Amino acid sequence: MNRTYEIMFIVRPDVEEVELDKLIETFSGYITTGGGTVKTTEKMGRRRLAYTVRKFNDGLYVLLVVDAPASLISEIERRLRVSEQVIKFLTVRMDEEDKRVAKIKAHRDAHVKRSAQPQVNVEAVAETPDAPVAVTPDAPVAATPDAPAAATSEPTEVAAPVAEAEPAVAS
User: Above 70 in pLDDT, residue 56?
Assistant: yes
User: Above 80 in pLDDT, residue 144?
Assistant: no
34: Cβ–Cβ under 8 A, 6 or more apart, which residues?
68, 69, 72, 75, 76
Express each pLDDT in 58-115 by its tens digit. 999 999 999 999 999 999 999 999 999 999 999 999 988 888 888 898 888 887 555 5
The DSSP 8-state label assigned to residue 35 in this structure reads: T
- 49, with CB counted inside 10 A (0-12, 13-18, 19+), is middle
- 76, with CB counted inside 10 A (0-12, 13-18, 19+), is buried
Provide DSSP, 112-159.
--GGGSPP--HHHHHH-SSS-----TTPPPPPPSSS--SSSSS----P
Express each pLDDT in 8-43 by its tens digit. 999 999 999 999 999 999 999 999 999 999 999 999
Domain ranges of the chain: 3-96
CA 90 to chain centre: 21
In this prediction, residue 27 carries a pLDDT of 96
In this prediction, residue 102 carries a pLDDT of 87
In this prediction, residue 168 carries a pLDDT of 62
In this prediction, residue 82 carries a pLDDT of 96
In this prediction, residue 162 carries a pLDDT of 59
Express each pLDDT in 107-141 by its tens digit. 888 875 555 556 666 565 555 556 555 555 665 55
Q: How is domain 3-96 classified at the architecture level of CATH?
A: 2-Layer Sandwich (3.30)
Higher-scoring residue by pLDDT: 46, 117: 46
Give this prediction's pTM: 0.60
What residues does 28 pair with on adjacent strands? Answer: none
